[in-house]
A and B are shown apart, each in its own frame.
Chain A
Amino acid sequence: MARGDTLVKLSRITKVYPGVRALDQVDFELKEAEIHAIVGENGAGKSTLIKVLAGVIRPEEGSIEIDGETYGYMTPKLSREKGIEVIYQEYNLVPTLSAAENICLGDQHGRLVNYKAMEKTAGDIFRQFNIEIDPSTVVYKLSSAQMQIVEIAKAISKNVRVLIMDEPTAPLTIREVDILMEIINRLKEQGVSILYISHRLDEIFAIADRVTIMRDGQYIETREIQDVTRKELISLMVGREINEGHPQRETRPGEEILRVEDLCGNGDEHISFSLYKGEILGVGGLVGCGRTEMAMMLYGAARIDSGRIFLNGQEVHIKSPKDAIAHGIGLIPEDRKRQGCFLEMSINWNVSINNIKNISRGTVVDRKKEKEAATYYRNAMNIKTPSLEQKVKNLSGGNQQKVVIAKTLAADSDIIIFDEPTRGIDVNAKHEIYLLMNELVAQGKSILMISSDMEELLGMSDRIIVLSENTFAGELKKEEFSQQNVLELASGGTDKPEWMTRRA
């Protein structure tokens, strides 16, 4: 088969879940050796489409054509045989096995395990892409970027022809994204077709050959990337014109509310900065540069070794999240499923838990008050759910994030730390969260926003501080904002990102 020929063709695929058409007569075509992006809001049907290709779910209608053969549905085995590999957002690695063992998992040659052969296979693939990971490293010791590379290597070792990547850059920093892009381009040169799903349009314009737009389970259009503008793409995705950028606000930061002096602890050293009333202070840096660690100290969830924290000019000692909450500091954590919400519990339950003592009479929870609070936040934040009794695990990512934010806001904080506020959520929900942040600062609250999303960092912040290698690297004023400046500070002058050069 030659470059440019059709490799996979989906025709009129329909998949219905109770009450929703996840896919509605979707057509899709993937060519040999192309990078094909799929864009759409959450719930547009991108993930469902992937699952159809991977054979995880069977469509009700439609056909799938591969290698000139037509199938009504795929099975995981058939999909594998055809060389389709998927890298899901949650990696499929066994954390306690080595990189090499993970890569060779499932390929049995002979009865005994041949570690040498496995390590050679893995090492060869890593070398091919100039990646320095020791194949014998146990996976849980790797960074998420490295884990992703192991996932890719796993797919390559299976003679992949179609590599499907679902939001591959969500956990990566800008530099790591560059490396991923390089790998993807190399794969394309080798004749692999890439199906690339991402919310980050920059990446799509940088890498994709074609882009398919989906909306509400329907196929909208496929375009050559050079024939579409960013604005068009967004309006195709949402079905109407929206002002993508970042909602403007009249920023008038007031007096200093928080001052951090020479903060050390939790792996971080010598961090100093101030936060003003009504300000959004962005915190930039590479993943692992100590931003979350700093937030955890400010929130009392990690021990402070030395340094001082002043709130409204008064020195405070924050020893626990409880202290932080009492001092009016709230945190919206990085990982909403692990740290943010209680998936098995209702929205009511989640929204009230941070502030439960105040919605209780004595020790007894006042359910009426609780419901009022939850109803208020559902309306204020447009949390989409049929009922407040709904378990949070049944909500979409964007709505889960809103619940986490509501939970923190319900405790009525003056300073709110947002750690990656919009990771992995769709354009619309993102926009709503930005509006909310603006409203919060308009109310005189202050926001410390840690973000690895460059557009968000530059678009939402009044000022940016950058950390590098666990210490303060510099501060940028609005007029100094640029991707270049942030990256320069973040990389601390060295060219190669640490994760590449460090042997795990």
Chain B
Amino acid sequence: METNMKKTFHPGEFIRNQLMLFVLILVIIVFSFIANNFFTTGNLLNVLMQSTYAIIIGMGVSMIMISGAIDLSIGYQVSFMSVVYAVLVQDLGQSSFLGILVIILLGMLMGFLNGFLMVRFNVNALIITLGTSYAYQGLSFILSKSRTFINLPASVTFLGKTYIAGVVPLAIVIMVIAVIVMAFVMNRTYFGRYIYGVGGNEEAIKLAGVNVERMRLLIYTISGLFVGLGCLVLIGRTGSIYAGMGSGLEFTCMTAGILGGISFRGGEGKVTGMVLGILLLQVLSNGMQLMGMGTYPQYVVKGIVLVAAVAFDSMQKKAKLKAEKLTPSQRLAQAEKQK
């Protein structure tokens, strides 16, 4: 038995596996030529900054997707927790520190609630989170009375505005830490194994002695923690709070996840795929913005990119099969060789 098969380097395979990375680089190169001011340190840093909160929240989303579930309420979770902060601090005169704590705790609580409802009533995550999404949307508008809150205290905006040593934005540092931690958890710890197991075969992971219900609660709660953290970065970036804030974030993250190879079936994909996906989406919108394209044409492009990516992936898999399908005589020859 060929126990130790040598790992040889196959350029084709490498490109296939790192496809998103190459696409991202390609898109950056293309925009560098066709969009003015795209390839400047300032703009690229800007793109990165704009990606930070989505990537942080995306860490939670990827965990949920890998576990074979979904959370449609993330956008309005962000709205709701921001508005609660604003009302606490500006209307009720509470300390900003308390408000920040409330954001984080609310994130975990809302995540927990989604998980709890799902587990307790054994209802599909799609339906539960669609429901909670509506509820949070309504609550955000009721609480905020449709106002926009500005002049936020520095204690809440520091995550988006602080530069370490005057150069490195704190938000990026937090993002990098979040990604490293999650990549480690998902790839190297048994907790991560369990998440893949829950998404890959729920029945089998149950029989492996894993309490799937508790896993789901944990996954949603931890995801909520990332939502809270991402929300703080977002508040810092925008400097204002309003009831529709963050809406659609869940779709951005899910799109990015799919682009990055995280499947809705669960049990597949890597959190780094999520990072690449979000960067790609941000680069695309930034580049198109610089080219003077309007918001709506941008939607069209993003839609096409998503469908094309999925179609391409599926074609790749087919092509892989086809490549193995040689002509009859070639195959006979190959089979002879193997004998």
- What residues on B are CB-neighbors of A363 within 8 Å? 189-191
Interface of A (DSSP majority class): mixed
With A16-B328, A60-B332 known to touch, is A344 a contact of B188 (CB < 8 Å)? no
- In Å, the complex CA distance between A100 and B205 comes to 37
Q: Is A333 an interface residue (CB 8 A)?
A: yes
Within 8 A of A (CB), among B316-339: 324, 328, 331-332, 334-335, 338
- What residues on B are CB-neighbors of A322 within 8 Å? 209-211
- In Å, the complex CA distance between A341 and B268 comes to 15
**B197 engages A353 (CB within 8 Å):** yes
- In Å, the complex CA distance between A119 and B165 comes to 79
The chain A residue sitting closest to B328, CB to CB, is A60
The chain B residue sitting closest to A296, CB to CB, is B207
**A345 engages B5 (CB within 8 Å):** no
- In Å, the complex CA distance between A364 and B208 comes to 18
With A339-B207, A344-B267 known to touch, is A365 a contact of B331 (CB < 8 Å)? no
**B328 engages A61 (CB within 8 Å):** yes
With A339-B203, A363-B190 known to touch, is A320 a contact of B334 (CB < 8 Å)? no
**A16 engages B189 (CB within 8 Å):** no
The chain B residue sitting closest to A367, CB to CB, is B188
- What residues on B are CB-neighbors of A345 within 8 Å? 196-197, 200, 267
- What residues on A are CB-neighbors of B267 within 8 Å? 342, 344-345
**A364 engages B188 (CB within 8 Å):** yes
**A342 engages B204 (CB within 8 Å):** yes
- In Å, the complex CA distance between A352 and B5 comes to 21
How far apart are B94's CB and chain A's nearest CB, in angstroms?
A: 37
The chain A residue sitting closest to B4, CB to CB, is A387
How far apart are B193's CB and chain A's nearest CB, in angstroms?
A: 6
- In Å, the complex CA distance between A137 and B1 comes to 52
Which of A18-26, A245-253, A264-272, A476-484 participates in binding chain B?
Answer: A18-26
Q: Is A180 an interface residue (CB 8 A)?
A: no
Q: Is A139 an interface residue (CB 8 A)?
A: no
**A16 engages B196 (CB within 8 Å):** no
- What residues on A are CB-neighbors of B332 within 8 Å? 14, 16, 60
- What residues on B are CB-neighbors of A360 within 8 Å? 189-190
Q: Is A377 an interface residue (CB 8 A)?
A: no
- What residues on B are CB-neighbors of A375 within 8 Å? 3
- What residues on B are CB-neighbors of A21 within 8 Å? 335
A and B contact pairs by CB, cutoff 8 A, 27 listed: A16-B331, A16-B335, A19-B335, A20-B335, A21-B335, A60-B332, A301-B206, A321-B206, A321-B210, A322-B210, A331-B207, A333-B204, A338-B201, A339-B204, A339-B207, A340-B204, A342-B201, A342-B267, A343-B200, A345-B200, A349-B196, A353-B193, A356-B190, A363-B191, A365-B190, A386-B2, A407-B208
Give the A-binding residues of B (Cβ under 8 A). Answer: 1-3, 5, 188-191, 193-194, 196-197, 200-201, 203-211, 267-268, 324, 328, 331-332, 334-335, 338
Give the B-binding residues of A (Cβ under 8 A). Answer: 14, 16-21, 60-61, 299, 301, 320-322, 324-325, 331, 333, 338-345, 349, 352-354, 356-357, 360, 363-365, 375, 386-387, 407
7 A-B pairs with least C-beta separation: A60-B328, A322-B209, A16-B331, A356-B190, A321-B209, A363-B189, A342-B200
For the A-B complex with A322-B211, A375-B3 known, give 20 more contacts whose Cβ atoms are closer than 8 Å.
A16-B334, A17-B324, A18-B324, A19-B335, A19-B338, A299-B207, A301-B207, A320-B209, A321-B207, A321-B208, A324-B209, A333-B207, A340-B207, A342-B196, A342-B197, A343-B201, A344-B200, A345-B196, A353-B205, A387-B5
